[in-house]
Amino acid sequence: MTMNAQTASAQPERPAIASTGKGAALPDRVRVVIVGGGFAGIEAARALQRSPARVTVIDCRNYSLFQPLLYQVATAALSPADVAVPIRSLLRGANTEVVLDEVVGVELDSARVRTRAGRAIGFDFLVLASGSQYNYFGHDEWISFAPGPKTLEDAVTIRRRLLLAFEEAEISGGDEERRALMTFVIVGGGPTGVEMAGAVAELARATLVRDFRHIDPALAHILLIEAGPRLLGAFPEKLGLYARRALTRLGVEVLLDTEVEHIDATGVLAGGRRIAARSVIWGAGVEATPAAPWLGVRPDRHGEVDVNPDFSIVGHPNVFVVGDAARALGSDGKPLPGLAAVAKQEGRYVGRLLRCRIAGKGVMPLFRYHDYGMMATIGRSAAVADLRGFRFTGRLAWLLWGAVHIYFLIGFRNRLVVLVNWLWIWLVYARGARLITDYEPSRPVPQPRPASPPPRRTRPSRRAQSAAARRDRNGQRTL
């Protein structure tokens, strides 16, 4: 890592001494730095509360996000505050502090992490829970044209584009432009793509259908493009077939075995077919955030870092990688999936492992992932669920999906608000978060004004000329 002389001479920054609330400061303790405030990072920090360690959690955002419901923010079913909770409200232990900053590098030799703000934070143990980002497979130029619901900013951007598409179609003067505005393309046939396609279809055909006067939102053309032979490839084939039928009933056109070749501001080229669309949403796969370059190790093809059974990296037993950034193997020898349940269990395990090591207790048993299954919802009252071999579809699966997501939401307030919103949407098809933010109407091109003729000069009458001459003679000349 290159650095200037001033940075190179900087000493690792020790976390500030946390107050006990009684005027006394905690003594200097073992330093645990956790990078990331997502599922894995929060669980690791919670497991270390009231431990002999001094815990520092670093994240570039001040909130923890429930990503499985981001697609509902993107489709105006929920508000951003319904799926996010401030990190500080979750970690109130006297031995824990939260730093709002972004980690840009890790120095293993000197045991410190460097942040974008220029901090050098030392550690005795490091937990990297930096999460993942969408993988555009070498086409990063598509990001601006096809955002994916991975962050709150992404979800709000998608919501704005979806709602603006209908607003602009309402005032559009040409049929071709109106069709492009009312065409929505979702790329990726996994759970995110399936859930997004179903939500967009319901938004157009149920929620907005009575809101416009010059267009019929129910005529919106929604396409789901998948490069593989079927939807929900990680699910049993029967559930994938059900998902396709459910989407077809909602009016979604499903294109299988179709690779996306190009995306720009005017649409998508997929399978040799040009699709004019002003709204494209990406959900075709993820890759780990740059934990591997920070550690100087070779990542796998998804950017993940190979870890030992205790989630430490080779050669550094005090550095751990958990969550989407880790390539951990299950009891069957296969990599664990990138699910919220996996990240939570990994983070909790590493937190407890560090607690035992710091306290000098016995050896922790090896990590074992408890698989609770997979779920995906397809619009209103339809879902698929694969729970430890028990497979459900339809309304029962939808109710199970809702109960599980309510249970895993962080905070009683969020659980209650989301439950009420879902009941309201189910009863009246209304979505209360249909807000277009950060929008500035384009100004019309100013038209040049026609040139005004010069004022016409009139000649004074003879009587006026005679009066002016008399005033001049009498010394009463006027200006």
Residue 177: the pLDDT is: 95
pLDDT tens digits along 287-307: 888 899 999 999 988 889 999
Confidence at 36, pLDDT banded by 50, 70, 90: very high
**Residue whose C-alpha is closest to residue 317's, from 294, 350, 347, 343:** 350
Amino acid in the structure at residue 466: S
With a CB cutoff of 8 Å and minimum separation 6, the contacts of 293 are 299
Say how far apart CA 366 and CA 389 lie, in whole Å: 25
Residue 445 has pLDDT above 50, yes or no: no
Residue 114: the pLDDT is: 97
Could you identify the residue written with the tokens 């502090």? 97
Residue 408: the pLDDT is: 85
Would you state the CATH architecture of domain 143-284? 3-Layer(bba) Sandwich (3.50)
Q: Beta-carbon neighbour count of residue 378 at 10 Å? A: 32
Residue 27 has pLDDT above 70, yes or no: no
Amino acid in the structure at residue 66: F
The mean pLDDT of 430-438, rounded to a whole number, is 78
Residue 382: the pLDDT is: 94
- Among the options 43, 195, 304, 346, which is catalytic? 195
Confidence at 407, pLDDT banded by 50, 70, 90: confident
With a CB cutoff of 8 Å and minimum separation 6, the contacts of 332 are none
Residue 423: the pLDDT is: 77
Say how far apart CA 339 and CA 234 lie, in whole Å: 12
**pTM to 2 decimals?**
0.83
Is 202 assigned a catalytic role? no
Residue 441: the pLDDT is: 74
pLDDT tens digits along 233-246: 999 999 999 999 99
Tokens of 342: 């996996």
With a CB cutoff of 8 Å and minimum separation 6, the contacts of 94 are 18, 19, 20, 21, 26
In CATH terms, 10-135+287-359 corresponds, of 2.60.40.10, 3.20.10.10, 3.50.50.60, 1.25.40.10, to 3.50.50.60
Residue 10: the pLDDT is: 41
C-alpha dihedral, 318 to 323 to 326 to 327, nearest 10°? 130
Residue 3 has pLDDT above 60, yes or no: no
Residue 321 to residues 41, 95, 336, 365: CA-CA distances in angstroms? 10, 22, 13, 18
Residue 272 to residues 25, 170, 257, 284, 428: CA-CA distances in angstroms? 66, 30, 12, 19, 41
For residues 208-234, one letter each, b for 16 or more C-beta atoms within 10 angstroms of the residue's C-beta and e for the rest, the string is beeeeeebebeebbbbbbbbeebbbee
Tokens of 397: 């699966």
Residue 414 has pLDDT above 50, yes or no: yes
The mean pLDDT of 393-411, rounded to a whole number, is 90
- For the chain, the average pLDDT equals 86
pLDDT tens digits along 309-328: 999 999 999 999 999 999 99
Could you identify the residue written with the tokens 């370059």? 293
Q: List the end-to-end C-alpha distance of the chain, in Å, as a whole number.
A: 81
The mean pLDDT of 263-271, rounded to a whole number, is 97
Fill in the DSSP letter of residue 205.
I
Residue 245: the pLDDT is: 97
Range with the lowest mean pLDDT among 14-18, 125-129, 186-190, 437-441? 14-18
Amino acid in the structure at residue 91: L
pLDDT tens digits along 37-94: 999 999 999 999 989 999 999 999 999 999 999 999 999 999 999 999 999 999 999 9
Residue 173: the pLDDT is: 84
Chain centroid to Cα 363, Å, comes to 38
Confidence at 360, pLDDT banded by 50, 70, 90: confident
Greater confidence, 269 or 456? 269
Furthest CA-CA distance within the chain: 122
Residue 463: the pLDDT is: 56
Confidence at 466, pLDDT banded by 50, 70, 90: low
Helix 237-249 to helix 191-202 angle, to the nearest 10 degrees? 20
Q: Beta-carbon neighbour count of residue 72 at 10 Å? A: 27
Residue 326: the pLDDT is: 95
Residue 21 has pLDDT above 50, yes or no: no
Residue 249 has pLDDT above 90, yes or no: yes
Confidence at 104, pLDDT banded by 50, 70, 90: very high
C-alpha dihedral, 99 to 104 to 107 to 110, nearest 10°? -40
Residue 13: the pLDDT is: 46
CATH 3.50.50.60 residue ranges for the chain: 10-135+287-359, 143-284
Range with the lowest mean pLDDT among 53-57, 94-98, 423-427? 423-427
Residue 433: the pLDDT is: 75
C-alpha dihedral, 208 to 211 to 216 to 220, nearest 10°? -30
| Length of the chain in terms of residues written | 479
